[in-house]
Structure 1
Amino acid sequence: MLRDADNDGAHGGDRERARDGDRRPRGRRGPSRRPAETFLLLLLLPALLPALLLGTAAPASAHAVLRATDPADGTVLRTAPRHVTLAFTESVGLLTDSFRVYDPANRRLRTGPAGHAADRSDTARVTLPARLATGTYTVAWRVVSADSHPVSGALTFSVGKRTAAPAALPQDRTENGATTALHTIARYLAYLSLALLLGTAAFVAYCRPPTTAHLRAPALAAAVTLVASTLAVYLLRAPYEEAASPTTAFSLSALTHTATTRPGRLLLLRLALLLLAAVAAVLLGTLRVRLPRRATLAAAAALAVALALTWSASDHASAGVQVPVAIVSSTLHLLATAAWLGGLAALLWTLRRAPGTAAVPPARVPARFSRLAFTSVVVLVVTGVYQSWRGLGSWQALTGTTYGRTLLAKLALVTALLLAAACSRTWTARLTRPAGAAVRARVPEPASGPPLPEFPPEPPPAPPLRLLRRSVLLEAVAAALVLALTTLLTGTVPGRAATESAPSAPFAATGVQTASVITIPFDTGAPGGHGKVQITLDPGRVGTGSLQAVVYGPDGGLATVPELRVTLTLPARRLGPLDTRLTDRGGYWSTPAFTVPLPGTWTVKATVRVSDLDQVTVSAPVRVTR
């Protein structure tokens, strides 16, 4: 019986060591923790690198999508146009060199300054020379969308007839790889440093670790990185918009131009806020003034919200539908992300620096962070659902667009992140469980006495602190992967914009008249009897306009046919067919005046006769607006 009591005491000592987090080194078990944690850190670094470098090798992808052009891309016009007009899905900013127009000989034309059509910010227009020679012209354009991303492209139109070889797009309008890479790295270093800075502040304010000396160096490094990356983004802003070399970043014209744009002013505001906070911190430290806790928290919260607004007011939330609500949602989303991911980094640093003889304070700190992380997750879910709806616009875009598929992958990783967070929360709850009453050894009783009372079951031992460290590391790995997919989403056209974009659609939403162009392939079945016919209805709306048609042969060049007949039918109203009565103009067919009486989806039928015996009738729909 005494031997049993001694054994119970020994086991009780083992249980006490387990409750203390297995802090006492026993043989080789203590040193074995470092290689495992180092291995997990090595896994974390490759996950962080894609978040900083993804997309640096690809051209910039903006969120203002070209919706329509006038003239339409590839149109053959009877007379030379006076303007080139572009319509986008959101407002755009113009550059000093937004349009470059090249003639059939690939020489650049002198054009008027770029402007907005009919004072609409979602359009861009340039005036062409009064006289244009016959042939194909190339228009290279570049604008800046409302979410601060540049977008560029090119279109062609022909006057009279196409040239044998359309003018090639000059290479000086392509993205500068060095500028794009440097701008992307600086931009996401700013995101990362903001999350670390604000997350560390939230961790100290709410979780109240027993000591904060070990967090001063990471917080200072995050603040310095935030200032440096913001300054780099400002310097690279003009070269990034103009697709120029990074060496032009320090020119006076580039710096002054950036200061006149909304993204540039917000970057300057961010630098001013950081400078003001640094000066205030230095003065308080020099004068040894200690502000009340509530005043300090209020000032820190105001600074955090102001810094977050410098992002949300210049990114995707600043364009599209419900802009005020979107800016509030984006600001809350960014603050919650910083509190969770930045606080997670601070917790990881605290656990690694936790003293081996004081397990209770570190156990209480993860418990507080668990509540902070749960609140952040709730905010992220609510704001994330709203931003997903705003970016997608429809359920079809969830699987039918690149943005939607990337979002699904991000949701899967967020689910894995929540599972890792649940594991951390479980370890935290077990670490903070109050210790049970001390277990006393059994005392021998007389054989004739009452039976010994049953002792309550022993609670399971608390997990070692190293298990919580590893769980937090796994959570950080999942968070880094989520950040990498977020990087991809910021460079992907939202599903709503991708769905709404229609290059050949009329300018109904912008009030600018444009042509509707359709191309219909045909094949008579005879040798050399195939090709395509391009039909242009100008303008593509109700009323009187012109209709032109061009026939292309098997080699893609202009083809001459003995007869071409085009009719329009409106099946929904049982109207038609209306004969357009085309006339051969020597290379193309046209009618100067044709009236479309009603809006709707018309069916265009083209009968192409390529010889005395071979002809075919083909059809395609065309949308006519009011």
Structure 2
Amino acid sequence: MTVLVLVAAVLALLLGGAGAASAHAGLSGSDPADGSVLKTEPQHVTLTFTESVSFSDDSLRVLSPANERVNPRPAQHVDGKENTARVELSGKLPQGTYTVAWRVVSADGHPISGAFVFSIGRPSETAAVVATDSPDDTAVGRLYGVLRHVAYSGLALLVGAATFVLVCWPTAGATRPVRRLLTVGWVALTASTVALLLLRGPYESAGSVTSAFDLGQLGRAVTTRSGGALMARLVLLAVIAVLLRRWARRFDGADDGARPPEPGSRDRQVGALLAVALAVTWAFAEHAAAGIQVVLAMPVAVLHLLAMGVWLGGLITLLLLLRRRGPADQGVPASAIVRFSRMAFRAVAVLVGTGVYQSWRQVGSWEALSSTSYGRTLVVKVAVVVLVLWAASYSRRWTARLVHEVSPAKAVRVRAAERARVAQTVGAPPAPARQDHDTAPDAPAGDGPDEKAAPPASDADTYRRGLRRMVTVEAVLGVVVLVITTVLTGTQPSRAAGEKAAAASVADSGVKVLTDGAGREVSRNVYWLSTRPDVLDYDAGDWYHTPTTSYGDLTGLNSLAAATVTATARTTHHAGSVSTTTVTLRNTGRGNTPALLTDLHLVDGRGAPVLPVRWSDNQISLWPGESAVLTAEHRTTGPSGGALRVRISGWNTPTTHITPSTR
């Protein structure tokens, strides 16, 4: 019952923390472009993504204004480039607005979807309707996310309990709590893997839950990267089931009072090999399989998963054994606790080391820790890991105290002290030996030195209770870490989010600079393309006005990342109370985020505008690394106005004031 209650609590936390995952790749471009108006019909539609993608027959659909499909054949990669998808269009296409709906699977196994429009001749109304929900906001997506949590918890229980038996205390394999824990871990991992495999097809194709039993869809899912990894995991779990049954028969002798056999080096090697193979089935089809440094990221991800299982699953195993009620001689020996303490310390060290690398690989910058969902979730995970290390330090203290009490050196000291206190009188009956207050007064006959050397029951119980409490705290915090880790695997990494945002910024915005024959800038126009074009009612228009029936969507500007703009200014005084202030602006940010609509104003010491003033330009947009020099001619301010300042603000630039130098 204790095992079931603990596992139920773990799953409650896991299910409570299950959330929708974000997309892991992004559309970086298309031909035709979103919102474009073409004079002639195109022969095909091409999509380009930020990373390699896979797709099915219905992954890319082009719909006419009448909601009829106009691409007769499925999508193909362009010239073998796995980050592209292209469909050919029908021969003659009528004028109007066409909708392109797509749904593909990114390299890390997560489906992404979207839609855009283009027009032939002129825009028109369209009857096409496409789903705009996230792939993970569907019933299949939510269920798939929950099952991923269950699979991670099953892996932790299975690996941790088996490692505890093979490395720390072989006798634990004969106890009922550990056997139940191994069974629950294996069942949870196997059942969730089967369910994930059945749901893989609907998850990728936006199908319903009932379509999970479609054999044709299941056959296609097995041939994908993620489906193959799930099939390999099931094969490994079948082998593990056979070995667990064989090991259980070997341990059954302990029920009759016989000492269970010690696992040999071959048993440990087989167990380690199977654990590594299980971890590879995750690393092969998730974040480690996409992005930079894949060759290094794969083994790092495997080590991270195994360290998590050894530490968290071992903690839960130790906790169940410490809570087990029974004779004192059936408790967990101090030597087993010491071995687990050392093993857990190494596992946490591996977790921290591999976690630092994975964080750098997935986040990419300090700024992303606060500006992306992945970064903020990672910060929470780091905070919980710090609490785990705090709890682990107290667990090691209780372990050290318990080991100190049962050490052989202390037994020798106690026995020697007792012999030194025995005195022999002369000419009188022997005096009774003086008893120290630390020893039992009336020891029964036949008690040997081993019984006298044992610590007092009260001290041993105190140390074990303290250890049990801290192991409980550490295990609960470890479950929280596991929940956050699972959420992270379903969240778009910050580096990928930055690449996607950069690609979207390049695709949705632009700048046109007009220069003269000498290359000097004459005019600059910055524009942002809407994902939905304005729709004009040409039939209702006249010679001077065409009404607009719907407007473009520019709400994406509200989520434009902040830009960092630095500025310097210098004021030169001329004769006749006229001055010129020269301002040099520079966008020092990285990536593709512009400093949009950056305004400059001259103000006096009270914040009032300095008028009249004539700017060469006082509203400008700058791309990262770009700079501009602007000048303002104005009257020389007097003492009443105070010092002259330049106020700088913008759409995504915070307001700052600088004081120009003078000459």
Taking structure 2 as the reference length, the TM-score comes to 0.66
Question: Is 1:322 the equivalent of 2:293?
Answer: yes
Whether the aligned pair in 2 keeps the contact of 1:72 and 1:504 (CA below 8 Å) is no
- Give the whole-Å Cα distance in 2 for the aligned partners of 1:493 and 1:51: 19
User: Equivalent of 1:189, from 150, 155, 174?
Assistant: 150
CA deviation after TM superposition for structure 1 residue 618, in Å: 8.3
- Give the whole-Å Cα distance in 1 for the aligned partners of 2:282 and 2:299: 11
Question: Is 1:362 the equivalent of 2:361?
Answer: no
Which stretch of structure 1 is more off in the superposition, 197-206 or 497-506? 497-506
Whether the aligned pair in 1 keeps the contact of 2:71 and 2:87 (CA below 8 Å) is no
Question: Corresponding residue for 2:34?
Answer: 73
Relative distance call for 1:90 and 1:302 in structure 2 (3 A) is: same
- Give the whole-Å Cα distance in 2 for the aligned partners of 1:470 and 1:42: 17
- Give the whole-Å Cα distance in 2 for the aligned partners of 1:210 and 1:276: 23
Question: Within 5 A, what are the aligned runs for 1:152-551?
Answer: 152-163=113-124, 167-170=128-131, 177-208=138-169, 210-214=171-175, 215-282=178-245, 293-353=264-324, 355-358=326-329, 361-434=332-405, 436=410, 437-438=413-414, 463-501=462-500, 502-504=502-504, 518=510
The code of the aligned residue for 2:339 comes to R
CA deviation after TM superposition for structure 1 residue 124, in Å: 1.6
Relative distance call for 1:285 and 1:258 in structure 2 (3 A) is: same
Whether the aligned pair in 1 keeps the contact of 2:28 and 2:504 (CA below 8 Å) is yes
- Give the whole-Å Cα distance in 1 for the aligned partners of 2:330 and 2:247: 33
CA deviation after TM superposition for structure 1 residue 482, in Å: 1.2
- Give the whole-Å Cα distance in 1 for the aligned partners of 2:212 and 2:221: 10
Relative distance call for 1:286 and 1:420 in structure 2 (3 A) is: closer
CA deviation after TM superposition for structure 1 residue 159, in Å: 2.4
Relative distance call for 1:266 and 1:467 in structure 2 (3 A) is: same
CA deviation after TM superposition for structure 1 residue 617, in Å: 12
CA deviation after TM superposition for structure 1 residue 443, in Å: 9.9
- Give the whole-Å Cα distance in 1 for the aligned partners of 2:313 and 2:152: 11
The code of the aligned residue for 2:25 comes to A
- Give the whole-Å Cα distance in 2 for the aligned partners of 1:603 and 1:493: 25
The code of the aligned residue for 1:426 comes to R
The code of the aligned residue for 1:269 comes to A
- Give the whole-Å Cα distance in 1 for the aligned partners of 2:297 and 2:386: 24
Whether the aligned pair in 1 keeps the contact of 2:401 and 2:463 (CA below 8 Å) is no
The code of the aligned residue for 2:63 comes to Y
- Give the whole-Å Cα distance in 2 for the aligned partners of 1:603 and 1:433: 64
Whether the aligned pair in 1 keeps the contact of 2:165 and 2:172 (CA below 8 Å) is no
Relative distance call for 1:114 and 1:335 in structure 2 (3 A) is: same
- Give the whole-Å Cα distance in 2 for the aligned partners of 1:412 and 1:483: 13
Relative distance call for 1:177 and 1:312 in structure 2 (3 A) is: same
Any idea what SS the aligned residue of 2:57 has?
Answer: strand
Count, aligned residues: 494
The code of the aligned residue for 2:205 comes to E
Relative distance call for 1:343 and 1:499 in structure 2 (3 A) is: same
Question: Is 1:96 the equivalent of 2:57?
Answer: yes
- Give the whole-Å Cα distance in 1 for the aligned partners of 2:262 and 2:464: 35
Q: Report Cα offsets for 1:455-495 as digits up to 9, x if no partner.
A: 99999956342221111111111111112211221221111
Taking structure 1 as the reference length, the TM-score comes to 0.69
Whether the aligned pair in 1 keeps the contact of 2:63 and 2:99 (CA below 8 Å) is yes
CA deviation after TM superposition for structure 1 residue 283, in Å: 6.1
CA deviation after TM superposition for structure 1 residue 359, in Å: 8.0
Relative distance call for 1:248 and 1:310 in structure 2 (3 A) is: same
Any idea what SS the aligned residue of 1:96 has?
Answer: coil
- Give the whole-Å Cα distance in 2 for the aligned partners of 1:325 and 1:175: 29
Question: Corresponding residue for 1:18?
Answer: none
Relative distance call for 1:494 and 1:601 in structure 2 (3 A) is: closer
Whether the aligned pair in 2 keeps the contact of 1:72 and 1:517 (CA below 8 Å) is no
- Give the whole-Å Cα distance in 1 for the aligned partners of 2:172 and 2:25: 48
Which stretch of structure 1 is more off in the superposition, 175-184 or 85-94? 175-184
Gaps of 5+ in 2: 254-260, 424-435, 440-454, 513-525, 531-544, 553-591, 598-616, 625-663
- Give the whole-Å Cα distance in 1 for the aligned partners of 2:335 and 2:217: 52
Whether the aligned pair in 2 keeps the contact of 1:533 and 1:552 (CA below 8 Å) is no
Which stretch of structure 1 is more off in the superposition, 336-345 or 154-163? 154-163
Relative distance call for 1:285 and 1:365 in structure 2 (3 A) is: closer
- Give the whole-Å Cα distance in 2 for the aligned partners of 1:553 and 1:491: 45
Any idea what SS the aligned residue of 2:405 has?
Answer: coil
Whether the aligned pair in 2 keeps the contact of 1:138 and 1:167 (CA below 8 Å) is yes
Any idea what SS the aligned residue of 1:394 has?
Answer: coil
Any idea what SS the aligned residue of 2:242 has?
Answer: helix
Question: Corresponding residue for 1:568?
Answer: none
Whether the aligned pair in 2 keeps the contact of 1:75 and 1:517 (CA below 8 Å) is no
Relative distance call for 1:378 and 1:552 in structure 2 (3 A) is: farther
CA deviation after TM superposition for structure 1 residue 185, in Å: 2.4
CA deviation after TM superposition for structure 1 residue 358, in Å: 3.1
- Give the whole-Å Cα distance in 2 for the aligned partners of 1:328 and 1:367: 28
The code of the aligned residue for 1:308 comes to A
Relative distance call for 1:247 and 1:132 in structure 2 (3 A) is: same
Whether the aligned pair in 2 keeps the contact of 1:404 and 1:495 (CA below 8 Å) is yes
Question: Corresponding residue for 1:526?
Answer: none
- Give the whole-Å Cα distance in 1 for the aligned partners of 2:243 and 2:527: 71
CA deviation after TM superposition for structure 1 residue 47, in Å: 6.4
CA deviation after TM superposition for structure 1 residue 620, in Å: 5.3
CA deviation after TM superposition for structure 1 residue 133, in Å: 2.7
Question: Corresponding residue for 2:112?
Answer: 151
CA deviation after TM superposition for structure 1 residue 52, in Å: 3.2
Relative distance call for 1:145 and 1:552 in structure 2 (3 A) is: farther
Q: Report Cα offsets for 1:114-166 as digits up to 9, x if no partner.
A: 01122110112222233333322221110011111111111122223333578
Relative distance call for 1:484 and 1:601 in structure 2 (3 A) is: closer
Relative distance call for 1:124 and 1:471 in structure 2 (3 A) is: same
Whether the aligned pair in 1 keeps the contact of 2:65 and 2:96 (CA below 8 Å) is yes
Question: Corresponding residue for 1:140?
Answer: 101
Whether the aligned pair in 1 keeps the contact of 2:112 and 2:135 (CA below 8 Å) is no
CA deviation after TM superposition for structure 1 residue 72, in Å: 2.5
CA deviation after TM superposition for structure 1 residue 325, in Å: 0.8
The code of the aligned residue for 2:193 comes to T
Query: How large is the RMSD of aligned CA atoms in angstroms?
Result: 4.2
Whether the aligned pair in 2 keeps the contact of 1:101 and 1:111 (CA below 8 Å) is no
CA deviation after TM superposition for structure 1 residue 382, in Å: 1.1
